[in-house]
Amino acid sequence: MTTASTTEHAIGGGVPRQRTGIAAILHDSWVIARRNLRRMMRIPEIVVFGLMQPVMFVLLFSYVMGGAIQIPGTQASQDAYIQFLMAGIFAQTVTFAVAGASAGIAEDMTKGLVDRFRSLPMTRSAVLVGRTLADLVQTAFILLVLALVALLVGWRIHDGIWQALGAFGLLLLLGYAFSWIGALIGLSVRSPEAATSAGLIWLFPLTFISNAFVPISSMPGWLQPIAYWNPFSATVQACRDLFGNQVGPVDEAWPMQHAVPVSIVWSLVIMALFSWLSVRKYRSAAG
């Protein structure tokens, strides 16, 4: 679909320019993303409270449970568990951003902002693309601060900066893919409160039935295949490989042996599916 765009003039100020096709989508998405980033800067509590939960997870798991959990092939120790844990905490942090995306879109729906966007000469997908891109920037900042906290409690990168940057790239890719799930949830519920609950309730089994906090080999036999093929597990294992944080033997399951490509494929599939569903939901609501 080709459309002319004067969105920046309508909601962001400036001189309108006619754009069509991909240029219109990119421009309109950037305008919406900038609008959401400005809102985050005006309300820093959004970022502060977004940081509190992952930091508490790091401290509680490290100092309360770290000395009690033994990784196969090692002795129970706080340092070994911190190296094992941090990839899981990073992945949990980027996926839990789903709740914020869900609540933000639901709030825009209830306040009539989305209806206003629909009335503007802009591409339909730009509202969702812009929102998810703004959430990605916020997630990247939270991930940076969390990495600094992890370094303070003893976590280390062992395989070089470029490998580590690749791991953070996988984390952001997973977070962006999951933000589209949040977008669909936000469009499907009637209030921000419901969106927050719906955005979190399914994440707890997803993150805990994985290799994030305990080795999958410690789970019941019938549960292990679910955990191995969990997209969350693939990203966690890929990050451990790239950070050089592998503690104990690597699981012999195929997804764990090929964690990096499996992680990329899972994220791209989730992104493609839920972005299509979200835009379709938005268009049907607009109609």
C-alpha 99/C-alpha 196 separation (Å) is: 5
C-alpha 47/C-alpha 45 separation (Å) is: 5
| Per-residue pLDDT reduced to its tens digit, 108-165 | 777 776 667 766 667 777 888 888 898 899 899 999 999 999 999 889 998 889 999 9
Is 158 within the bounds of a domain?
Answer: yes
Is 106 within the bounds of a domain?
Answer: yes
Is 5 within the bounds of a domain?
Answer: no
- Max mean pLDDT among 149-158, 164-173, 181-190 falls in 164-173
Is 13 within the bounds of a domain?
Answer: no
Count of domains observed in the chain: 1
Is 134 within the bounds of a domain?
Answer: yes
Other Cβ atoms within 10 Å of 200 Cβ, number: 15
C-alpha 93/C-alpha 54 separation (Å) is: 6
| Per-residue pLDDT reduced to its tens digit, 29-75 | 888 888 878 877 777 777 777 788 888 888 888 777 766 677 776 66
Which of 136, 104, 134, 116 minimizes the C-alpha distance to 11? 116
Is 4 within the bounds of a domain?
Answer: no
Which of 95, 97, 68 minimizes the C-alpha distance to 214? 68
The range of the structural domain enclosing residue 279 comes to 19-286
| Per-residue pLDDT reduced to its tens digit, 18-29 | 555 677 778 788
Is 216 within the bounds of a domain?
Answer: yes
Say which DSSP state 217 is in.
G
Is 1 within the bounds of a domain?
Answer: no
